[in-house]
């Protein structure tokens, strides 16, 4: 019985960590969408204009940013529900039934798939954006805070490197912790 309690408590701890990491994906990705006037920089391409030195962006679908945000919300909700479920099982000193375990496995599979897809999207999309930024700047982080587009687009580039770097790191960590829990 002690081993069962230890396993349940470790699952609770894993889901608490997942809930916190979910917020660390949702917040920076949402901030980035807001700062770029609801345009997603993942997989955005373009050309640097010779006359004024500004970047003429070809914006991709906002879905490239919205899917990792959706994944973050999905993992957050599942984690909160699992924390409640495992906490209740621990409090009542019971074990879950077959149906509950089956649902846990299905949710784990979905969270893992969504996490892997999100990690690939954020990583590859950020690489595409940064490759265009390094045509003008020595590194991608040097473009943060620079006026790279027309003022009419109402885009704030001050935090994009930190926000996307954080999201990229956390989304990669998500899938590792999901596999453990």
Q: For the segment 81-138, what is each residue's pLDDT rounded down to a tens digit?
A: 999 999 998 888 777 788 988 998 999 899 989 989 999 999 999 999 999 999 999 9
d(CA 83, CA 153): 43
User: What one-character DSSP code corresponds to residue 39?
Assistant: -
pTM, entire model: 0.88
Between 153 and 83, the higher pLDDT residue: 83
Which of 51-88 are b and which e, b meaning 16 or more Cβ less than 10 Å from the residue's Cβ? Answer: eeebbebebbeeebbebbbebbebbbebbeebbebbee
């Amino acid at each position: 019985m002690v081993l069962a309690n230890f396993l349940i408590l470790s699952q609770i701890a894993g889901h608490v960590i997942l809930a916190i990491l979910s917020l660390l994906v949702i917040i920076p990705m949402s901030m980035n969408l807001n700062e770029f006037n609801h345009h997603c920089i993942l997989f955005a391409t373009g050309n640097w204009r010779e006359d004024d030195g500004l970047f003429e962006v070809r914006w991709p679908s906002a879905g490239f940013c919205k899917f990792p945000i959706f994944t973050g919300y999905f993992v957050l909700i599942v984690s909160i529900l699992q924390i409640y479920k495992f906490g209740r099982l621990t409090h009542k000193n019971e074990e879950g039934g077959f149906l509950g375990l089956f649902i846990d496995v299905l949710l784990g599979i979905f969270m893992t798939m969504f996490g892997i897809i999100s990690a690939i999207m954020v990583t590859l999309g950020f690489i595409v954006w940064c490759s265009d930024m390094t045509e003008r700047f020595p590194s991608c982080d040097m473009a943060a805070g620079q006026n790279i587009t027309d003022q009419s687009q109402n885009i704030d580039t001050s935090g994009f490197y930190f926000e996307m770097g954080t999201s990229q790191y956390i989304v990669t960590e998500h899938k590792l912790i999901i596999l453990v829990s």
